[in-house]
Chain A
Amino acid sequence: MKRSQKIGFFILVIFVFIAIFGPMIATHTPFAIDGESMAAPSEVNWFGTNKLGQDLFSQFVYGARTTLLIGLAVALISTTLSAILGLLAGYSSKLDTLLNSIANMLMVLPSLLLILIVASFSGGGTWQLIWTLGLLTWPGYMRLIRASVLSLKEREFVKAAQLYQGNTFYIIRKHLLPFIWPLIKTKFIISFQAAVAMEASLSFLGIGDPNVPSWGKMLQDVFSQSSTLLTDSWKWTVVPPTLAILFVTTALALLGESKQDGTITTASLRRKKSKVLPPVVCTAGEVASSGMSAISVKNLSVVYGDRTIIHPLSFEVTSGNVTALIGESGSGKTTMARTLYGLLPEETVTGEAYVAGKRIYRGEGQVTLQRWLDAAYIFQDPRSSFDPLLKIGKQFYEAMLLYHTPIEKREAAAQILREVQLDEAVLDCYPHELSGGMLGRALLALALVNKPSVLIADEPTSALDPIVKREVLDLLIKKVREHHMTLLLITHDLSMALHVADEILLLQDGHLVAEKDKQRYLQRYKPLSIRQLGYQAEKTWEG
């Protein structure tokens, strides 16, 4: 539980206590009229009295009972309906049509209108209210649960269970319920909170059971008299029920906070725009430290929480070389590449990394890597690298810092596209209008657009089909050589690495494999890959 959830839970517990034990210590019954009219809080009437001289503390604590009871009952009814109907609709296609139409109708109709009508119709007793709210509020989550059942039904384990003639109830209980349980939990809390708010609102409109005290009714009582705003009495007549409603609804909202999924492996977006800077005059010390290396890593390690992804390691990549970083899945090679481009949260990284002589982490001013100018980074999947809502051209122009006017940019972009054998018209296309191969080339062109000295490519071809893959890779290598760039190629494809790389780095479980072991390793697999006619046939470490 998060801290905010704990706070919510704590507040709720307090109110549950108030509801349970409050009436026991209340010295008056909620409607008894034996007090002074509009008395301020005192030893006798802890929260003061209202116009009729009724003890407000007693109304408050009994009101807590009503409110929580209504919230609980509505949440139970509504959640049960949502879950059962959702399961039924997801499980039986016959019922699905019927249930879905009912849900549709209920959702299109303004719910407050229905509630007003039904409440006037049913006379506004507490249980009528509970049933009204319960019966009208199930459709939203019923459809979420239905959708989730529909997708679960396609999953193997459910199919298997069905195959083995497990009975439906058993399958639902054993296989489906655990998955929709979080939905049910959220629905319950949201219903609870909505019911509390709705009860208060309806009481405020004068629809509610007059025999039962509730917070909404206390407010309605007060606001039906104009004198409330004339005197100070609002301090004790208005404030407690208002705060109570506020606290309970807020506490429930906090408690119902849905889990934000995904661990945080990306750096904060807070990063300044890259700038075209005058060439740095390196001091002797810095030249010594980076030397001729395009990439230089010293004692670099990456730790997510208590999980170490990269153990401290150091290496250099020679300027103008094509270097392959290979390793099995999970060996940390993608993390390594991302680290080198500054895509990891700073706090997860220790040690030093330099790319094109610029510091990646904890750098200041001119010594920081200017992305896309000093170095560029090509992602695994060209399709998911482009923003689906923007034309390719726009995605080019925003990164083209060396050019200024739109015409210059367009010309330069067209030029670089031609280099990768793409037509200028590509600039006016949306990403989904292009094939995977075209996108791969476009991505390459985009990486070349500012002529960076270093290029980091993370499995740039893994999402492409074999023939296209070869074309794109060849093009990549060709362009890198042409422009005298340094390429760090991350791949799990050993044959590919052997085919193109000047140098190979091997990562295993976050450790850089030493030269001796690496050679042995390469020897072991080299014949295999050659026998399989190069890198065209996919030979993976896993395979």
Chain B
Amino acid sequence: MLARMKSSLLLVILCLSLVVSACSASPANTGESSSKPVTQSGTATADESVDLVRLTWGDSGYPSPFAFSPSGPGGYLRNSFLFDTLTWKDESGVIPWLAKSWEISKDELTYTFKLEQDVTWHDGKPFTAEDVVFSFNYYKKFPFNWTGDFSHIESVTKSDDYTVVFTIKNKYAAFLSDLVGIVPIIPKHVWEKVDKPVEFRDDAALVGTGPYTLKQYDEKSGQYLYAANPNYFKGEVLVKEVAYVNSSNKVLSLQNKEIDAGYTVNYSEVENMLSQGFKMIQSDPTGSALRITFNLDHPQLKDKRLRQAIAYALDREEMSRKITGGDPIVGNAGIIPPDSPWYNNSVKQYEYNITKAERILDELGYTKNANGIRELLKLKVMVSSTSQESQVMQEMLKKVGIELNIQQVDSAAFTAAMGENKYDMAITGHIGLSGDPDYLRLWFMGQASNTYAARGKTWKNEDFQRLAIKQMQELDFDKRKAIIGKMQDILAEELPTLVLYHRPFYFMYNPDVYNRWTNTYGGIADGIPLWDNKVFFIDVKK
């Protein structure tokens, strides 16, 4: 416990990184707050251990670091039960994990990690700095399946068996959370002999340091059964077994006690379950968004006034209420969710205002004909699965005379069309907005080959680009927040994308089975707003 406090202190004093920023963002979280998890874990006794918790998710592939399915967060989370990272996150933000402490050099380009010393791999071999160095070098050769931008790393070296030094090419604010907090450390003695890691299916492929070992993988249904690691270095694993069941209908399965917890985005389902004695936690901060991406090369949509008119014409509050059923969180024109510490509360917003929308459209020369239709303005919106948002949009835009056609294509065709700029507007939904705000840079600077940003394309806005680089290299929270605030202003004015609404995830669980579910501050790893964070299955002693 002392070590835990020491590391917290270290964090506060030494690094001016995200953890601190997170702390200062929520005032209740300074100083004494770091003792909160301590007291919580202090009360946790062996009595709190639970034999089995059943959760639900679809097939996420074989959970080795090279074979899990990168589509959706399931694969990464399944992997995180077996493998550990240098840092991890809990309800307070970034916490030490395999690294018990770290120092950052003055120029903010060198990170020195002190590693835990009594960690063993599942096969009994000791874990050392050699494994960390090996892992990062191995991932350079065989890319890791999930996020984590290795291009920032200049070198990884060990100075002794339990000290690793990372040198990075440029200042990188999200280094602790979005790089070493994501990349799992793999055992050198296993992987050094493997030259086809994707195909590697030996039992050794799942040897990690994590709190669980995989007891059974039901490949045909994509179901997993994890068993607790009795020698876990972080403390006793309270949930002795975790099962991931592939359920077609989460709510019904929960109600029938086939599973013990599950999430939904539909509030009416939550109400139903609450009335049956289930408990619920809401993702906080929301961390997810549904948004329209505008094709900025489209002859009509390249005019920002049209994009603004569309923003005014959409009653996004109503849309959110209809679709999610809960209290609506209207999308921030500057993308960052309003409940995020990075939110700029003075950013320009587009309230629902038909008159304004109509005036702009008229000014742009899209006049209405006798039937109230603006004949010159026929737009298409592309969706990758059945999308209620697109239907609502179609109806709302009809009111201002814009005819909207919905194109429904499958996911791969959707991504291809985005890449080839063969679309007018596209609706996308995604999570991760509660993590490090560096995603704004990744989205609009062509850094991410990702549907939800313009793939491989840079948003040609010089001010924004300059600020994006600047924030990445700024480790001071307040200064960084100011920069990110300005970025939100630009985004809100230019509207390359319009967030329709932020969608909270609701986690419903049976409190009689397991009751220690907690929000992960900023989301697990790079901002996954889910609750099956391994840290909450462990009675953390350090």
Contact = CB atoms under 8 A, between A and B. Distances in A.
Contact, chains A and B (beta carbon distance below 8 A): yes
Interface of A: 31-33, 37-38, 51-54, 120, 123-124, 206, 208-211, 220-221, 224-227, 229-231
Contacts of B394: 31, 211
A116 B388 CA distance: 23
Given A51-B322, A123-B408, A210-B406, A227 B251 contact: yes
A31 B391 contact: yes
B318 to A, nearest CB: 8
B490 interface: no
B395 interface: yes
Contact of A229 (B252, B323, B392, B409): B252
19 contacts: A31-B391, A31-B394, A33-B322, A33-B392, A33-B396, A37-B268, A51-B268, A51-B325, A51-B388, A52-B322, A53-B322, A123-B408, A206-B386, A210-B386, A211-B405, A211-B406, A227-B268, A227-B269, A229-B252
A227 B272 contact: yes
Ranked 8 nearest A-B pairs via Cβ: A226-B251, A210-B406, A226-B249, A210-B408, A227-B269, A33-B395, A52-B322, A211-B406
A208 B406 CA distance: 11
B513 interface: no
Interface residues of B, number: 32
Given A227-B251, A227-B268, A229-B252, A52 B388 contact: yes
B266 interface: yes
B269 A226 contact: yes
Given A31-B391, A53-B322, A227-B266, A123 B405 contact: no
B170 interface: no
B356 to A, nearest CB: 21
A123 B407 contact: yes
A230 B388 contact: no
Interface centre among A53, A120, A209, A227, by most B CB within 10 Å? A227
Given A33-B395, A37-B322, A231 B390 contact: no
- Residue from the set B266, B325, B408, B409 with the largest chain A CB neighbour count within 10 Å: B408
Interface in B286-337: 318, 322-323, 325
Contacts of A227: 251, 266, 268-269, 272
B383 interface: yes
A230 B408 contact: no
A147 to B, nearest CB: 40
Nearest to A221: B386
Given A123-B413, A226-B250, A227-B251, A52 B391 contact: yes
Interface of B: 249-252, 255, 264, 266, 268-269, 272, 318, 322-323, 325, 383, 385-388, 390-392, 394-396, 405-410, 413
B22 to A, nearest CB: 34
Nearest to A34: B395
Contact of A210 (B250, B325, B391): B391
Contacts of B396: 33
Contacts of A220: 386
Contacts of A38: 268
Given A31-B391, A123-B409, A227-B268, A206 B322 contact: no
A120 B395 contact: no
Given A52-B391, A210-B383, A210-B391, 14 more contacts: A31-B391, A32-B395, A33-B391, A51-B322, A51-B388, A52-B388, A209-B408, A210-B386, A225-B266, A226-B251, A226-B266, A226-B269, A230-B251, A230-B255
Contacts of B390: 210
A52 B392 contact: yes
B252 A52 contact: no
A356 B322 CA distance: 86
